[in-house]
Every structure is written in C-alpha cells, then in structure tokens.
C-alpha cells in the first residue's frame, strides 16, 4: 500500500465504511478485513492524524480482526458489545475530525 493524501471529508466516508463493517455477520471475511486494513493504513498515514487517532484506528482494526476471524469471535461474551466498541471508536474519530474541520 502507498500513502496518499486524502481530505477530511474522504476520511469521514472511510470511517463510515469502517463503522459499517461492525454490522457484518461474524466469521471469516478476508476481503473485508483487507479493506479495513487498507482504511486504517490510509487514515493513519495522514499528516493530520494524531497519535490518539492512530491508536483508536488500531483498536478498531483489532476488534474487526476478532469479528471477522474463523473462531475468535466465538470466544466473545458479546458480539454486540464488540460491534458497539467498533462503532463507538469510529464515531469518536469522526467527531474529532468534524470538530477539527469546523475549527479551520
């Protein structure tokens, strides 16, 4: 993958896509997991991406790895809880980006 600059509006669209992945059925989905990894890579590579944002993107990706794995999601107490965590992380990042865009 190659870093490329994206606008904050494009970043919000990517976050929406990442957030929507939380609603997928649990189980192996290598294509979607690869797309999640690509989104994480793109967003983390931006000049405006803070350390907090990079950490949150890593956290969301780790949760998606669990959700979209063959077996690990079965060990969860609550798939809905994991989905809520992913959606919450994406919402906090989007809120941060929107606040930053309004401040500029």
pTM (two decimals) = 0.87
Residue bearing tokens 């999601």: 73
Q: What pLDDT, on a 0 to 100 scale, did the predictor assign at position 6?
A: 92
R_g of the chain, CA atoms, integer Å: 14
- Reading the chain (104 residues) residue by residue, the pLDDT tens digits are 567 889 988 999 999 999 999 999 999 999 999 999 999 999 999 998 999 999 999 999 999 999 998 887 777 788 899 999 999 999 999 999 888 766 65
Distance CA 91, CA 70 (A): 27
CA 54 to chain CA mean position, Å: 10
Distance CA 4, CA 10 (A): 12
Taking alpha carbons only, the member of 12, 11, 21, 90 closest to residue 43 is: 11
Phi-psi region of 50 (alpha: psi -120 to 50; beta: other; left: phi over 0): beta
């Amino acid at each position: 993958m190659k870093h490329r600059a994206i606008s904050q509006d494009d970043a919000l669209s990517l976050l929406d896509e990442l957030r929507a992945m939380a609603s997928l059925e649990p189980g192996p989905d290598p294509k979607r997991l690869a797309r999640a990894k690509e989104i994480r890579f793109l967003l983390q590579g931006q000049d405006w991406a803070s350390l907090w944002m990079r950490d949150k993107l890593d956290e969301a990706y780790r949760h998606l790895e669990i959700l979209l794995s063959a077996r690990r999601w079965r060990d969860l107490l609550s798939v809905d809880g994991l989905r809520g965590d992913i959606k919450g992380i994406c919402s906090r990042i989007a809120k941060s980006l929107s606040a930053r865009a309004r401040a500029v």
